[in-house]
Amino acid sequence: MQIIRSIAELRAWRKTAGRVAFVPTMGNLHEGHLALVAAARQHAEQVVVSIFVNRLQFGQGEDFDAYPRTFEADGDKLRAAGVAVLFFPDERELYPRIKQDFNVEPPHIQNELCGAFRPGHFRGVATVVAKLFNIVQPDVACFGKKDFQQLHVIRAMVDDLNMPIEIVPVDTGRADDGLALSSRNGYLSSDERAEAPRLYRQLSAIRAALQAGDSNYAALEKAACDELNGHGWRVDYVEIRQADTLEIAHVGEARLVVLAAARLGRTRLIDNIEVAR
């Protein structure tokens, strides 16, 4: 595995690389990230993984400085997974002027769901992913469904800006008790980790109710919020949305997604579950 730190070196490698699949990450890799790598290897012989903790997608008071940097362990995992190139730029390489004057501005959905609680987050995500796409020039890029709103934003950006990249969604990796794999799970205390699967259980209960014909979306959302808040969570939202557009869901739509974000102690967890009826 090559470790490349400069844009110029990566572009030189790319000229002779053939078909490339790409997995952008912020590091602190877990089995969910490695599932993205495995999916990428199914689509191209050459897989590029980037590690870059992107300041633009962190809001005021969020954990940019505290975000775990585990480069050596990450490199070992990627090398074992058969990755061809690890792209590991520093901040000045990706943002030469530090301040990014031109940004990719997503539509109104960036201010809903997680965006309502993290202003500017999806602008930062879209901007850095667009930059990485321009640098790596992949044929395929793999993104996890756990960040369902992020996946939606990236897909829409690629479609609207005519980027010649196939976006491959990868199912959420989960622990045996259902908790979605996340780098932020490491912030949970032992008691919080035992409580954390309740979020997935509530999403699963909503899915079961929807599949059984329950159409009172507001009551289902409120019941889940009440259950979580009653066990020490601070819920940002639990919402039933249309899966393809993330618009407000209406009764009778065939493809839905239930999305949630809630804080357990100091850790903000997100999850979602798709519903086909």
Sheet with 2-4: strands ordered across? 2-4, 85-87, 46-51, 20-25, 140-144, 166-170
Check the annotation: does 113 bind a ligand. Answer: no
Check the annotation: does 183 bind a ligand. Answer: yes
Do 52 and 88 contact (CB within 8 A), yes or no?
yes
Check the annotation: does 27 bind a ligand. Answer: yes
- Strands 267-276 and 255-264, bridge-based pairing: antiparallel
Q: At what angle do helices 7-14 and 121-136 cross, to 10 degrees?
A: 50
- Tell me whether residue 33 is one of the annotated catalytic residues: yes
Check the annotation: does 230 bind a ligand. Answer: no
- Strands 20-25 and 140-144, bridge-based pairing: parallel
Q: How far apart are CA 268 and CA 233, in angstroms?
A: 10
Check the annotation: does 57 bind a ligand. Answer: yes
Q: How far apart are CA 194 and CA 105, in angstroms?
A: 38
Check the annotation: does 182 bind a ligand. Answer: yes
Check the annotation: does 189 bind a ligand. Answer: no
Check the annotation: does 62 bind a ligand. Answer: no
Check the annotation: does 18 bind a ligand. Answer: no
Q: How far apart are CA 30 and CA 169, in angstroms?
A: 17
Check the annotation: does 144 bind a ligand. Answer: yes
The catalytically annotated residue of 33, 43, 121, 152 is 33
Check the annotation: does 1 bind a ligand. Answer: no
- Strands 233-242 and 255-264, bridge-based pairing: antiparallel
The two tokens of residue 113 are 């769901």
As annotated, the binding site for beta-alanine includes 57
As annotated, the binding site for ATP includes 26-33, 144-147, 173, 181-184
As annotated, the binding site includes 26-33, 57, 144-147, 150, 173, 181-184
User: So which residues are the catalytic ones?
Assistant: 33
As annotated, the binding site for (R)-pantoate includes 57, 150
